[in-house]
Structure 1
Amino acid sequence: MPRLVVVLLRGGPDDLPRVMEAPVDEVGHRMSFPRGNGYEHFEFSEEYEDFDGRPAPVYRWSYRTAIAE
C-alpha cells in the first residue's frame, strides 16, 4: 500500500478541500485532482506550512481541464 502524505491546497474553487492526502509517488512539482467533469491542477509553491506538527507542502491552484469524452 502506498504511503500517503498531507498536502495543502491554496486557491481554486471554494468547494475544494484545503487539505488532502496524496500518494508519495504522485507528489511532485504538479498535482491534479479529479473534480466533477474535470481536473483541478496545482503547482508546488516551494513553500511548506506546519500541519499537525509536521511540514506539509503547499500547492497553488493553476488551472482546470475538462475530461475528454
Structure 2
Amino acid sequence: MPDTANRTQFILLRGGPRHLERLHPHLGDDPERIAVRHLNGYEHYEATGEYACAGDQELPIFGWIYQTKIAE
C-alpha cells in the first residue's frame, strides 16, 4: 500500500478571493475540507464531489464556504 501521508496532490479552488491561486497544492490524504492561509485569516473550502481536467490529471474541485480571521 503506498504511503499517501507525504504525497503532494493538487486541487482546484472555486470561489473565495479573486487573487487567490486556483490551483492549490495539498499534502496528505483526500480531505473533505481544507483551510488555506490568506492574508490575516483562512479561507475554508469543501470538496464538491466534482472533478476538472488539468493537463493529464483529473483534479478534485473544492468550493469556498467561509472565511475566518486569526485572533490577535
TM-score w.r.t. the length of structure 2 is 0.87
Deviations 1:28-61 (A, max 9, x none): 1100010111000000000011112111000001
Query: What number of residue pairs does the alignment pair up?
Result: 68
SS in 2 for 1:2: coil
Based on CA coordinates, which of the two structures has the bigger radius of gyration? 2
Q: Which runs of 5+ in 1 are unaligned?
A: none
TM-score w.r.t. the length of structure 1 is 0.91
| Aligned match for 1:49, one of 38, 47, 52 | 52
Identity over aligned pairs, percent:
38
Q: Which runs of 5+ in 2 are unaligned?
A: none
- Calculate the aligned-residue CA RMSD, in Å: 1.3
4+ residue stretches of structure 1 with deviation over 3 A? none
Structure with greater helix share of residues: 1
